[in-house]
Amino acid sequence: MVSQIIFVILALAGTALFAYNARKVIRNIKLGRATDRSDKPQERLMTMLKVAFGQTKMAVRPIPFFLHLIVYLGFVIINLEVLEIAIDGAFGTHRVFAGLGGFYSFLIGSFEILAAGVWLACVIFLIRRNILKLKRFSGVEMKNWPKSDANYILITEILLMTAFLTMNAADAKLQALGAAHYTAAGAFPISSWLHGLLPNTVDSLIFIERFCWWFHIVGIFAFLNYLPYSKHFHIMLAFPNTYFSKLTPKGQFTNMDSVTNEVKAMLDPSFVPADAAPGKFGAKDIQDLSRINLLNAYTCTECGRCTSVCPANITGKLLSPRKIMMDTRDRMEEVGKNIDKHGTDHQDGKSLLDDYITREEIWACTSCNACVEACPVNIDPLEIIMELRRYAVMEESVAPASINAMLGNVENNGAPWKYSPADRFNWSEGN
């Protein structure tokens, strides 16, 4: 009975704490400008099913695709087992679904195979990161916390799977010994290999079984509450992120309505804009970005596919699209903490541009969309880069000198070079 009460309190506390932190994340995302992405719900749903649920964009790299698929399937399917654990925990039952008979054995057997797969995949992932040191997982932005974060996630998953399999092994042994409560149920294709490692007395087996059971479920609640602080949040946010992703061609950049109003007013003095609130042009800080940009930042799992295909990064420039996303999230977290501490109007004198992302980075972008194409969950670092450029150019008139010269030429000659418009048709005279 005591354990049931402890379990229920733990479950409620774990869920409540997660809800509290998730609300903060939602509040932070809402610091951004509202963007209407309520159009084309069917196409959006299909995109989500294909890209997030179906993992289609992962397939470009077969090895990580396969390993990630195992972990993903493991995560989704083994969670069915958590349902049983939750019921057992709350009602003091043991293997409440055992009555399903053969189907139950099939389920438990499949969970075990998946759990072993997840275990192995995570070990390989750790090797790739820490021993093989794949280039994709390095870079200036991948030091300290991001580096540890990745390892913590993998180690936690390995521990959870180990607990799950050890629990099953102890359970099966108890079943064989005919211990009370441990009714014979389930099939244990993997954990049966662990029997030799376990003691043979009922008391120690029960201790091990219970310890692993609690470790597994407490671990899951702890992991749930780790998500909002971690890159691992993508396991949830990948779904809304792909749902709200851009559906127009990648080359189509937004036309700023505020500018349209001003340009129309300039061309036609009698024009009265419907919405006369120009506000700031472009983005200096996270509040100037769209909520989609901010959701993107929380969704990023720092896999580095974007950076590994970025022409600027490949050729040694400072720009890294992954860093753009990580900086945006870090700044958003900082602004969120300021709100918690000092209230909504607090200014800390810092901004995303300059304090996090430098001018050198934003001007190195070729706008080639390789990062956008590469992202397995449809994150768009390019849009953030463009918004920062817009701020630099339109609010501050600060750009590299040669860019200013080009802009001057377009304005005066209708071409990015210093040629006379009268010569535009001269090509027809050559051969």
- Minimum distance, C-beta of residue 45 to other proteins, in the bound complex (Å): 21
- Minimum distance, C-beta of residue 248 to other proteins, in the bound complex (Å): 7
Q: Residue written as tokens 């971690």?
A: 230
- Identify which range of 30-38, 143-151, 154-162, 406-414 contacts other proteins by CB under 8 A: 406-414
Q: Could you tell me the end-to-end alpha-carbon distance of the chain, in angstroms, rounded to an integer?
A: 94
The neighbouring-strand residues paired with 33 are 290
Q: Residue written as tokens 């500018």?
A: 259
The single-letter code of the amino acid at 384 is I
Radius of gyration of the chain (CA): 27
Comparison of 99 and 414: residue with beta carbon closer to other proteins: 414
Task: List the structure tokens of 295.
Answer: 């959701």
Q: Cα separations (Å) of 216 from 81, 120, 208, 274? A: 11, 18, 12, 58
Burial 177-196 (b: 16+ CB within 10 A, else e): eebeebeebbbbebbeebee
Query: Among 142, 169, 238, 312, which residue sits at the site for other proteins (rule: CB under 8 A)?
Result: 312
Comparison of 160 and 385: residue with beta carbon closer to other proteins: 385
Interface mask toward other proteins for 316-355; x: CB under 8 A: xxxx------------------------------------
The yes or no reply on residue 363 touching other proteins (CB under 8 A) is yes
Is the CB of residue 321 less than 8 Å from the CB of residue 383? no
Comparison of 117 and 282: residue with beta carbon closer to other proteins: 282
- Minimum distance, C-beta of residue 263 to other proteins, in the bound complex (Å): 4
Interface mask toward other proteins for 226-265; x: CB under 8 A: ----------------------xxxxxx-xx--xx-xxx-
Q: SS3 for 33? A: strand
CB neighbour class for 120 (10 Å; exposed up to 12, middle 13-18, buried from 19): middle
The yes or no reply on residue 421 touching other proteins (CB under 8 A) is yes
Q: How far apart are CA 274 and CA 361, in angstroms?
A: 37
- Minimum distance, C-beta of residue 354 to other proteins, in the bound complex (Å): 15
Task: List the structure tokens of 190.
Answer: 């993997």
Total number of residues that touch other proteins (CB under 8 A)? 69
Q: How far apart are CA 205 and CA 217, in angstroms?
A: 18
- Minimum distance, C-beta of residue 191 to other proteins, in the bound complex (Å): 42
- Minimum distance, C-beta of residue 409 to other proteins, in the bound complex (Å): 9
Comparison of 10 and 406: residue with beta carbon closer to other proteins: 406
Q: Helix, strand, coil proportions of the chain in percent (round to 5)? A: 70, 0, 30
- Minimum distance, C-beta of residue 366 to other proteins, in the bound complex (Å): 4
The yes or no reply on residue 365 touching other proteins (CB under 8 A) is yes
Q: Where are the beta strands (DSSP E) in 25-171?
A: none
Binding site for other proteins (CB under 8 A): 60, 248-253, 255-256, 259-260, 262-264, 266-267, 281-282, 309, 311-312, 314-319, 360, 363-370, 372-373, 386, 389-394, 399-400, 402-403, 405-407, 410-411, 414-417, 419, 421-428, 430-431
